[in-house]
Amino acid sequence: MPGMFPITVDLAGRSCLVVGGGTVALRKVKNLLQCGAIIEVVSPSFCEELAVMGKEGLVSLNTRKFKDHDLNGRMLVFAATNDEITNQRIYELCRERNILVNTVDDPERCNFLVPAIMRRGALTIAINTEGKSPMLARRIRIDMENRYGSEYADYLELLGEARAVVKNTIDQESARRLLFEKILDLPILSLLQQGEKEEAKGRILKCIYSWPD
């Protein structure tokens, strides 16, 4: 079987459906909220935290069983019920309609999988075992969390700013590449670990503006 294609997807403002009202569905809802998705949850009942989210207007709750028309206009769907027949129905319909669907804890009924994710600002590291060992993926994620600290969020912010300056000041692509490598060689991370963000930013700008024309 060929491997799955790894991508990141922009869900901001996109309509997503979660079918199920328990703690598993809750985890999926929280992940979708971080991406700015518009979320509807369908279930005969909801766990307490989901009910609170509904009252606060964070998600739209529909208190009933799944119906086929719930899939209309969706970009992405999670089937997170404890009813295998319902999950199978959702999977089949999504496949027919070319909708991204994930049946939780059932990789055979998914056309996308959710990796174990570590985030540090703009830095995202995703570990995917294609459903063969989610536990291993979690262990690797924990290792990444220990290896890449909170300073990487500031680091990526500074690198993004530096990239914009370089693109506006240096025309040659080959020269840009050399300068980007030079910036990455600077001791910026150690400065950020010491809380010296302005000093780190100054070092980067000095490197850029002292670069030979």
Residue 191 pLDDT grade (very low, low, confident, very high; cuts 50, 70, 90): very high
**Percent of the chain residues past pLDDT 90, beyond the cut:** 89
CB 75, CB 100: distance < 8 Å: yes
Sheet of 100-103, strand order = 60-63, 38-43, 15-19, 76-79, 100-103
CB 126, CB 104: distance < 8 Å: no
Residue 1 pLDDT grade (very low, low, confident, very high; cuts 50, 70, 90): low
pLDDT of residue 7: 87
pTM confidence score: 0.81
What distance lies between CA 45 and its chain's CA centroid? 27
DSSP code of residue 4: P
Q: For residues 197 and 213, what is the distance between their CA atoms, to the nearest angstrom?
A: 27
CB 65, CB 44: distance < 8 Å: yes
At the second CATH level, the architecture of 1-114 is 3-Layer(aba) Sandwich (3.40)
Query: Is 92's pLDDT higher than 80?
Result: yes
pLDDT of residue 131: 84
Sketch the domain layout of the chain as residue ranges. Answer: 1-114, 151-209
Q: For residues 23 and 27, what is the distance between their CA atoms, to the nearest angstrom?
A: 6
Quick: pLDDT tens for 157-186: 999 999 999 999 899 999 999 999 999 999
Q: Six-digit token pair at 103?
A: 């049946």
Query: Is 6's pLDDT higher than 90?
Result: no
Query: Is 213's pLDDT higher than 70?
Result: no
